[in-house]
Structure 1
């Protein structure tokens, strides 16, 4: 029997009618402002935009232009392909990917549990590598690491918080991608390859952390970007749903006031009407606590664009090391991302989906890990016990 009262829901909504109406009015006002500011922005060439940014004195104006702006039509670069069926699109994708290795890495974790007498956590990194050669040659594998009490302990709180596990997982994902790039380089196919990072290289979240906790993330991203440049191995950070405002800040800087408060995805959504449409690449110059404190010099080593991968949601954000764009292979890398999305499902790269499937740790995996850990601890002659809450759970599941 439903406990939701239809009458009370309708009455509660009616009481807030004006707030919802005001929200709609604000959206319309933002849309009008967006049109005016974009018209000013799109009338400028890349050199003019760069000069305006310089004149503003803003060191971190959100984003910086690349010459691609001058070849774009209304900030849109079309894929230029028209398929009559999914079969035609798939043939195009397989041709684009043929002979070009694609790799992706993802991670999963088991956090420390207060139900166990001995603190322990684990991180599993999975990867998928497809060489896209005749006859098929691919690899799926995992790397598993256990974190001990001394690796988990927090000197400030004396507790065993999750942040150390989160940081270790992030670092291992980057380490594994570097290892794959080095391997592809040794095989002589690094330049032809494409490696996916599931997420953003612009780690603003680390700027909100307590002192001493951001360094692990910063070091990992710097090493990843440096390895891509050193090995000439194209790398893509894939952000399916971005709330970034980097380009909005740039437009506000050179075309405002007044100023927009949209996200980049909302800014570009109407400008990319067809599947595969993308924006020109921009250089990232995000203004956040990391860049303001001089810790994010690598932000400007990252270029990004937005691309239409699904008609029912805003464009996705693609990030690449700056050298990819400056070497002239931006179009080629984007085409391979699109190829992976066609081979995959729902506008998501197949390689990332595959790495996620390999890496994921489900509840039964966690329970198996705890059982193996208990067996290991007892073999060492060390005390081990579960909390009463955990024992109660086990009894209920067994009954």
Structure 2
């Protein structure tokens, strides 16, 4: 337990530090606003420079597809529509439990509005216990816990595509598929190609299925930490004629001249630019991992949801259709309003997926019964785990 008497002594200077940081943030924000206005005078030139030097930049700078002063008000959602969502949770493997295995639980939600249809609110559990599931990742230097998280992302996307196919048999209406988090899987960049080949193809295949059904998929990022839009403005701060980070600023991190915004985030800038119900310009992400996405390049925009600035990500084929994009954004905004600040479908998918302490205990109790029924003896947790669950103090 925490010793608050000792803790208070360490917190005495935090208010002074936060006050100083608040002043610094306002200064960075003012600089970003000024550069945003200046970039409008030669936006095409800066985009051309970003495209020319993108491989030599030490940061990921997105490219705007619309004028930087674009502010589009999102239209009301149609009365009849359907929203699909999935989310995942897991029980991590532990050598101290009765068996070394892990569980992934995918929550599924289908909400039908203006239709006489029952919602879908359920979960799909799957247990992984075979050696090829537990140890295949060792050859790539990955821990089983890491691999479990990556497999969970794949399972969420596949379940979403299957849920979309299930709704196809019902009366047609505008339909949206949502996931919590980014569609840019940054973790893939550091993985060996053999590991990526087991993760990315099933995800892209599920996206292909959604595209065939004309059901847009959107990644919803609350409290997004991305700075891809701000990084585009960094080009104006570079003191060199050519923004070649590898040549001019090699080995520099926060000391580089263009790091004038850090740790500012895109959401801070767009909070000063957007009114509730408005979206920012469309941007195309320049993340290197997207080179493996084929025709599913990721675009994004920021939307003032009334409670926060959310980052919304979607594949290229969604952005290519103005009508589909407008309907998608209207459905998301309606979801946030229904969920009092967060999409109700995503919140419900999380509630379906989450594995609570009681569920975990029951899972291992059922597993123990099955092991005993199969004739196994000496079934039980390690002494360490048993000791941690109780106290003699």
Tell whether the structures are fold-level matches, with TM greater than 0.5: yes
Selected match of 1:130 from 101, 111, 119: 111
Selected match of 1:343 from 330, 338, 347: 338
In the TM superposition, residue 57 of structure 1 has moved relative to its aligned partner by 5.8
Matching of residue 176 in structure 1 with residue 159 in structure 2 = yes
Taking the aligned partners of 2:169 and 2:93, their CA distance within structure 1 comes to 38
Matching of residue 51 in structure 1 with residue 32 in structure 2 = no
Taking the aligned partners of 1:179 and 1:133, their CA distance within structure 2 comes to 23
**Residues 145 and 322 of structure 1: is their aligned pair in 2 closer, same or farther, counting only changes over 3 Å?**
same
In the TM superposition, residue 163 of structure 1 has moved relative to its aligned partner by 1.8
Q: What's the CA shift string for 1:204-247, capped at 9, x where partnerless?
A: 12323466444444234322332332322111111112111211
Taking the aligned partners of 2:126 and 2:55, their CA distance within structure 1 comes to 43
Normalised by the length of structure 2, the TM-score is 0.81
Aligned to 1:84: none
Runs (5+) with no aligned partner, structure 2: 240-256
SS at match of 1:285: coil
Taking the aligned partners of 1:114 and 1:208, their CA distance within structure 2 comes to 27
The answer to whether the 8 Å contact 1:181/1:233 transfers is yes
The answer to whether the 8 Å contact 1:171/1:216 transfers is no
**Residues 159 and 176 of structure 1: is their aligned pair in 2 closer, same or farther, counting only changes over 3 Å?**
closer
Selected match of 1:113 from 94, 99, 124: 94
Matching of residue 64 in structure 1 with residue 63 in structure 2 = yes
Taking the aligned partners of 1:372 and 1:198, their CA distance within structure 2 comes to 31
In the TM superposition, residue 114 of structure 1 has moved relative to its aligned partner by 2.1
Matching of residue 307 in structure 1 with residue 306 in structure 2 = no
Aligned to 2:127: 146
The answer to whether the 8 Å contact 2:204/2:293 transfers is no
The answer to whether the 8 Å contact 1:75/1:271 transfers is no
In the TM superposition, residue 117 of structure 1 has moved relative to its aligned partner by 4.0
**RMSD (Å), alpha carbons:** 3.3
The answer to whether the 8 Å contact 1:40/1:255 transfers is no
SS at match of 1:62: coil
SS at match of 2:366: helix
Matching of residue 208 in structure 1 with residue 204 in structure 2 = no
Aligned to 1:32: 30
In the TM superposition, residue 7 of structure 1 has moved relative to its aligned partner by 8.3
In the TM superposition, residue 333 of structure 1 has moved relative to its aligned partner by 0.9
**Residues 239 and 116 of structure 1: is their aligned pair in 2 closer, same or farther, counting only changes over 3 Å?**
same
SS at match of 1:162: helix
**Residues 161 and 36 of structure 1: is their aligned pair in 2 closer, same or farther, counting only changes over 3 Å?**
same
Taking the aligned partners of 1:52 and 1:120, their CA distance within structure 2 comes to 50
In the TM superposition, residue 149 of structure 1 has moved relative to its aligned partner by 4.0
